[in-house]
Chain A
Amino acid sequence: MSILINKDSRIIVQGITGKEGSFHAEQCHKYGNNVVGGVTPGKGGQTVLDGIPVYDSCSEAKAATDCNVSLIFVPAPFAGDAVMEAADAGIELIVCITEGIPVNDMMKAIPYARRKGCRVIGPNCPGLLTPGGAKVGIMPAHIAKEGSIGVISKSGTLTYEAVHQLVAAGYGQTTCVGIGGDPIIGTKMTELLDMFQADPETEAIVLIGEIGGQMEIDAAKHIKEKITKPVVAFIAGATAPPGRRMGHAGAIVSGADESAEAKKRILSEHGAHVVDSPAFIGETMKKALQG
């Protein structure tokens, strides 16, 4: 089992004829053999990557392929529109990789998608990977393996590091979810904690946060109230000075409990196994599962 995506997912890629889009569409398709189409306005009727059909719009792609996942590589100025188009077409899961989208655009597109009953992952995220099932995003699939750990992370490469540590310690993953580093994102840590809690194959969870925002604090309270599976947590940015933005648009300490120190303390007080470095994720997971 897994959450959100599996081998039966029917994926389309918005922006499939672009440089990033075509490269990653091919990687995803090689992995799960389940990319059923692509969307690039004005290029409908073409095929790419040995026979994947391209459509002019999401609604045409939906009608022709019955896709249920859209993976978005559309450039930032048009990405908000792309999310809403996918939602309007009734595509249930919308994974937006694009970085640098204006906050005002996502502030409208994400609630729009929710009103249509769709879920957005991201933006500014590495997407999803269910080892042995499906890849919807840009994670390097070869570092992961099938197993029983659910991974939730705000960061791309830090997710890879966590997966690497887990595999080195002998643990595979059910699903790895990159939720994104922007101030406003489609799916929050608490929602994913619930999904992993409900997934019978997931035995434990790795939660990777960073400075900025309140999401990790909400997650901490949620862990205490609702989550019975062990959670190993790391918060990046203990050495980041307050008021400075560290790469991600959302990674900025603007209040006392937005610091790494505060988030780690609160997570620990609420029952998470907090590590001070991603290098300790594997061994801490071992202890958490044995103890």
Chain B
Amino acid sequence: MKIHEYQAKDILAKYGVPVQSGVVIEDKAEATAAIKSVQDRTGVEATVVKAQIHAGGRGKGGGVKYSPTTADAVENVNNILGMTLITPQTGPEGQFVRKVYITEALDIASEYYLAVLLDRANECPVIIASSEGGMEIEEVAHSNPDAIIKEYVDPTVGLQGFQLRRLVKRLGLSGAHAKQAMKLIYNLYTCYSETDASLCEINPLVITDSDEVIALDAKFDFDESALYRQKAIAELRDEYEEPPAEVEAAKYNLNYVKLDGNVGCMVNGAGLAMGTMDIIKLKGSEPANFLDVGGTANPETVKNGFRIILADPNVKAVLINIFGGIVRCDRIANGVVQAVKELDLNVPVVVRLQGTNAQEAKEILAESGVDIIAADSLDDAAEKVVAAAQ
């Protein structure tokens, strides 16, 4: 689960990681007062106005503006709040900006990159740091891999002092800067592990002209599986940042991701769902979605699945592919029959049920009289649904 920059900075501040002063507003009418309150706190007129959306690359899309004067800041708030911001990460449709963050502008002496994230291959957290701050870390990894410093943390003992000393030395820091940076990195690691984060990224981390080490931007991602014990973090979820159909699907415990194609699919299990999408493409169409109805699919889930798939106007045909293991195919068949009767379906539906009680399922479908296309194998089902969509 991602959160906004201003929320990440609130968390950082709680863990003793220095951040700039800032104020978040959602209403243009609050601009002047908000700007003044930041200026009063810092004693400096210049501010930075930053769009708060989850996607990165905000500066490239015009969502981050340095504002030397109050008038500039007001103008920038007016322009950014309510804009549809297109960045390399939002896709061409962009993301509507509902909140802006007004922060103090700092005089920067040097910029760094700092992050803690999960290293899957080594099964532990890794701290990644670089003196090439402010750039995308993937770019640095490509253009100057030697500039990337990694420190792996043993999760059973945590981050050690020698690792902090090694990190700051390799970053080229010494004296007071090194001391501040060690404390900051330690605090960031504590924040990462105590909040069940999967990513805590500060880019850039800066040293100011007045020798302070400060997090200028922050991007956090959290382990969804741990949200049950991170209530305060879970409350930071901003559903406006997630596609509405996915938020809706989550209410029914369905795992849905919208895609651009015209063949809807409803499958049990994430792997088979992906495999089904792949064969639809192989047969010449594009999948309209990923939808895993899970291990306990019942008539109600099937009906909700249909509702969500068919809310997408691009969908021209639907493939239901269920391999019954724990899920019994006869129950799915009843769900399909019920859904087709109750919902006013105006697209062809291809059904392939295999595994536990598949024979009973076929009989239920055949005897129901509902208008569906039955398929035997995965290959057959994919061919039929692609033909039906065309």
A139 to B89, CA, bound (A): 39
- Quick check: is A153 within 8 A (CB to CB) of the other chain? yes
- Quick check: is A132 within 8 A (CB to CB) of the other chain? no
Q: Contacts of B280 on A, CB cut-off 8 Å?
A: 239
- Quick check: is B223 within 8 A (CB to CB) of the other chain? yes
- The stretch that binds B, out of A54-62, A100-108, A195-203, A223-231, is A100-108
Q: Contacts of A239 on B, CB cut-off 8 Å?
A: 259, 261, 274, 277-278, 280-281, 286-287
The contact string, 1 if C-beta is below 8 Å from chain A, for chain B 269-302, is 1111111011111100011001010010000000
Q: Contacts of B89 on A, CB cut-off 8 Å?
A: 243
B156-A108 in contact (CB<8A): yes
- Rounded to whole Å, the gap between the CB of B48 and the closest CB of chain A is 26
A103-B275 in contact (CB<8A): no
A210-B271 in contact (CB<8A): yes
B155-A108 in contact (CB<8A): yes
- The stretch that binds B, out of A33-41, A43-51, A86-94, A272-280, is A272-280
A104-B226 in contact (CB<8A): yes
A103 to B116, CA, bound (A): 14
The contact string, 1 if C-beta is below 8 Å from chain B, for chain A 60-97, is 00000000000000001100000000000000000000
A107-B271 in contact (CB<8A): no
- Given A77-B228, A102-B196, A184-B120, answer yes or no on A246-B270 (Cβ-Cβ < 8 Å): yes
Q: Contacts of A110 on B, CB cut-off 8 Å?
A: 123
Chain B's closest residue to A153 (CB) is B271
Q: Contacts of A4 on B, CB cut-off 8 Å?
A: none
Contacts between the two chains (Cβ within 8 Å), count:
172
A234-B257 in contact (CB<8A): no
A240-B271 in contact (CB<8A): no
- Quick check: is B145 within 8 A (CB to CB) of the other chain? no
A245 to B199, CA, bound (A): 15
The contact string, 1 if C-beta is below 8 Å from chain A, for chain B 214-243, is 000000000111101100000000000000
- Quick check: is A260 within 8 A (CB to CB) of the other chain? yes
A207 to B66, CA, bound (A): 52
- Quick check: is A271 within 8 A (CB to CB) of the other chain? no
Chain B's closest residue to A139 (CB) is B325
Q: Is the interface of B mostly helix, strand, loop or mixed?
A: mixed
A-contacting residues, B338-390, CB 8 Å: 354-356, 377-379, 382
- Given A103-B198, A157-B271, A260-B278, answer yes or no on A77-B325 (Cβ-Cβ < 8 Å): no
A200 to B135, CA, bound (A): 53
B270-A155 in contact (CB<8A): yes
The contact string, 1 if C-beta is below 8 Å from chain A, for chain B 258-273, is 0101000001111111
- Quick check: is A161 within 8 A (CB to CB) of the other chain? yes
B325-A126 in contact (CB<8A): yes
Q: Contacts of B334 on A, CB cut-off 8 Å?
A: none
A249-B259 in contact (CB<8A): no
- Given A104-B226, A108-B155, A153-B271, answer yes or no on A140-B278 (Cβ-Cβ < 8 Å): no
Other-chain residue from A142, A164, A181, A238 in contact with B278 (beta carbon distance below 8 A): A238
A-contacting residues, B47-67, CB 8 Å: none
A251-B274 in contact (CB<8A): yes
Chain A's closest residue to B89 (CB) is A243
A234 to B378, CA, bound (A): 15
A139 to B295, CA, bound (A): 12
Number of interface residues of B (CB under 8 A): 54
A251 to B120, CA, bound (A): 12
Contact count band on A:
35 or more
Other-chain residue from B121, B156, B229, B354 in contact with A164 (beta carbon distance below 8 A): B354
Other-chain residue from A76, A236, A244, A248 in contact with B275 (beta carbon distance below 8 A): A236
Other-chain residue from A139, A184, A247 in contact with B270 (beta carbon distance below 8 A): A247
A143 to B324, CA, bound (A): 10
Q: Contacts of A184 on B, CB cut-off 8 Å?
A: 118, 120, 123
B124-A103 in contact (CB<8A): no
Q: Contacts of B274 on A, CB cut-off 8 Å?
A: 155, 158, 210-211, 236-237, 239-240, 246-247, 251
- Quick check: is A208 within 8 A (CB to CB) of the other chain? yes
- Rounded to whole Å, the gap between the CB of B334 and the closest CB of chain A is 19
A154-B226 in contact (CB<8A): no
- Rounded to whole Å, the gap between the CB of B124 and the closest CB of chain A is 7
B223-A138 in contact (CB<8A): no
A227 to B228, CA, bound (A): 43
B225-A160 in contact (CB<8A): no
B268-A157 in contact (CB<8A): yes
Other-chain residue from A181, A218, A277 in contact with B378 (beta carbon distance below 8 A): A277
B270-A138 in contact (CB<8A): no
- Quick check: is B163 within 8 A (CB to CB) of the other chain? no
Q: Contacts of B269 on A, CB cut-off 8 Å?
A: 155-158, 247
A279 to B282, CA, bound (A): 11
Q: Contacts of A164 on B, CB cut-off 8 Å?
A: 323, 354-355
Chain B's closest residue to A104 (CB) is B196
A247 to B138, CA, bound (A): 25
- Quick check: is B255 within 8 A (CB to CB) of the other chain? yes
- Given A213-B121, A240-B290, A279-B377, answer yes or no on A140-B282 (Cβ-Cβ < 8 Å): no
B324-A102 in contact (CB<8A): no
Q: Contacts of B270 on A, CB cut-off 8 Å?
A: 155, 181, 210, 246-248, 251
B155-A247 in contact (CB<8A): no
- Rounded to whole Å, the gap between the CB of A102 and the closest CB of chain B is 4
A155 to B295, CA, bound (A): 12
B-contacting residues, A132-147, CB 8 Å: 138-140, 142-143
The contact string, 1 if C-beta is below 8 Å from chain A, for chain B 89-128, is 1000000000000000000000000000010110111000
Other contacts beyond A102-B225, A276-B282: 19, CB < 8 A:
A76-B225, A101-B225, A104-B196, A107-B155, A138-B326, A140-B355, A157-B325, A160-B323, A184-B123, A213-B120, A239-B277, A239-B287, A240-B274, A246-B270, A247-B271, A248-B271, A251-B274, A278-B275, A279-B378
Q: Which 4 A-B pairs have the closest CB atoms?
A: A155-B271, A247-B270, A157-B269, A158-B271
* 7 interchain pairs, CB-CB under 8 A: A103-B196, A154-B271, A160-B323, A236-B274, A238-B277, A239-B280, A247-B255
A-to-B contact residues, CB < 8 Å: 76-77, 100-104, 107-108, 110-112, 126, 138-140, 142-143, 153-161, 164, 181, 183-184, 208, 210-215, 218, 234, 236-241, 243-251, 255, 260, 276-279
